[in-house]
Chains A and B, each alone.
Chain A
Amino acid sequence: MSNNITVIESQFWRKFSRIVVNWSLARKILSLVIFILLWTILVQFIGYFHQIPTPKAVFLAIFELPVTLVLTNIALSFFRVLGGFFMGVLIGFPMGVAIGYSRILNRLIFPAFEMVRPIPPIAWIPMTVLFFINFESQAIFLTFYGAFFPIVYNTMGGISEVDIRLPRAAMSFGVGKRLMLWKVIMPAAMPQVFTGMKLAMGITWILVVAAEMLSNKGGMGYYVWYNHTVMDYPHVVLAMGIIGLCGAICSVGVGLVGNYFTRWQRIF
């Protein structure tokens, strides 16, 4: 008798959960459908927007992509992004640790940073063009600058905000000053450090695209602008999508590395 009831209950539950899951997922798919529909309607029926490509046009443009050119541009953009980002990490991370850990270094370095930080990276472009000989070094400096501040500040924050009871407990257990940084303070600061890195990655992409749009040295940003100048808008939209995809891949990448280093943390 009781067996029958459990069977009935589980059937009901399975049906019920399928329905619940279905609704949410369905709405999400509906969201994209609505977006595409709205897009098509706006473009086709409102004369003012007639220059914007329809989703169909964008889709068809995929097949007309000059593959090698696009791949080259993607590679160029990636190179600039990753170059600047890793430089930002290599210089910014130790710097952040140093000024988070040492009060003296903090007072010596932080005010200078605070003074320079408000100047947006884009404003540096003419200066970099002046100072650096070729575009690659200009771009990498720019992305480095963009990645630098989030990484330094978040690392500094993470290090200085470590719960003081943790190093105290470690001291009681016999950890000396030398090992304290490595064994206690850095692991504790990791979540905040990776927050900074994700932020930096996002900013890096914005800067690379902007720099490429302003110059003619290739890269996806340049590709977007080029298609704009030749009025090939389906390819413009396609290029935007590709850039977005690349940026998302990078962010996810940083996120995955970060998850490894903070696997002890449960974010509810």
Chain B
Amino acid sequence: MTNAEQEALGLVFERPTFLSKVFSEKTILNTISIVSVFVAWALLVHFRVYRFVLIPSPAEVLEYGRWWVGTKVFWIDTVMTTGRVLVGVGAAYLIGIPLGLMIGWRKVFSDLTFPTLEILRPIPAPAYLPIAILLLPTQELSVAFIPFIDAFFPVLLNTIVGVKLIDRDYFRAARCLGSSPKQIFWHVVLPGALPSISTGCAIGMGIGWMGAVVGEMITGKWGLGYRIWESYILIRYPLIIDGMIAIGILGFASSVLIRYLTIRLVPWRKAITESLDESITK
């Protein structure tokens, strides 16, 4: 609608003031939110409230952080941790997705494998560590096993749900057109489940990062998790927080990356979050 038309109709438009007020109110509140965390932190440490005397102040953390980022150790640690997570989560994708597709597609397969998986599912990932050490050749892989287990089940369950959510009509249409099972798999099952798979991948990456650090703290010489633990023992407390922040940033970045990739690879995806959450947390 052009300005001339607007005037002819006798309506005057400006962004209503209340909207602009809300807009800036939003940014103000958001900023207060973030800033107050640091302010509260600094104040608690400064006034030595309770045991905050032991905790480094934001300034110390920042200073230490600047130094740490310049060291070689930091980069080795980061690469190690990221590598372990990516290997673990990647393995979860590589095993979980095909498995989930088969389980969702064929009842026979589901009956044969699912009960075993359901028994294994409640076992928390860190509890696998001793077995992982026995099973896997290197200590590296054992540490990567924990993110693997953490990410495996969300990916698996989301994939299964994804297959089950495919409208049965697609299968019927494919059969009408004379498709072989192999074709159905590649052209109906896989693409149809992709939206859910991508959600599962995102969730898996998030949970995988949670488990990344566990193994490092318990065993290991390199990695951000280990570095945090070591900082505690060596009484280099600011580094603990720097490490925590580093892990947080990396985890956040990888989640963003996965979400971006899935949006690119699955443009037709629609938000189907409800049913997925329910089946994950059964």
Contacts and interface: CB of A to CB of B under 8 A. Distances in A.
A interface secondary structure, majority: helix
Interface in A221-257: 221, 224-225, 227-228, 233, 236-237, 239-241, 243-245, 247-248, 251, 255
B211 interface: yes
Given A123-B225, A126-B231, A130-B237, A225 B130 contact: yes
B221 interface: no
Contacts of A104: 29
A130 B55 contact: yes
Contacts of A91: none
B245 A240 contact: no
B9 interface: no
Given A130-B232, A213-B218, A244-B120, A118 B252 contact: yes
Interface string B114-153: 1110011111111111110111000000000000001000
A210 B281 contact: no
Interface residues of A, number: 69
Contacts of A228: 129-130, 133
B46 interface: no
Interface stretch (B69-77, B88-96, B104-112, B168-176): B104-112
A122 B111 contact: no
A31 interface: yes
A54 to B, nearest CB: 13
Nearest to B249: A118
Contact of A131 (B33, B55, B134, B281): B55
A195 B281 contact: yes
Contact of B115 (A31, A198, A239, A247): A31
Nearest to B30: A111
Interface string B238-256: 0011011101110110010
A51 B34 CA distance: 51
Interface string A185-209: 0000001100100110011011011
Interface of B: 25-26, 29-30, 32-34, 36-37, 51-52, 54-55, 107-108, 111-116, 119-131, 133-135, 150, 209-214, 217-218, 225, 228-229, 231-232, 237, 240-241, 243-245, 247-249, 251-252, 255, 274-275, 277-278, 280-282
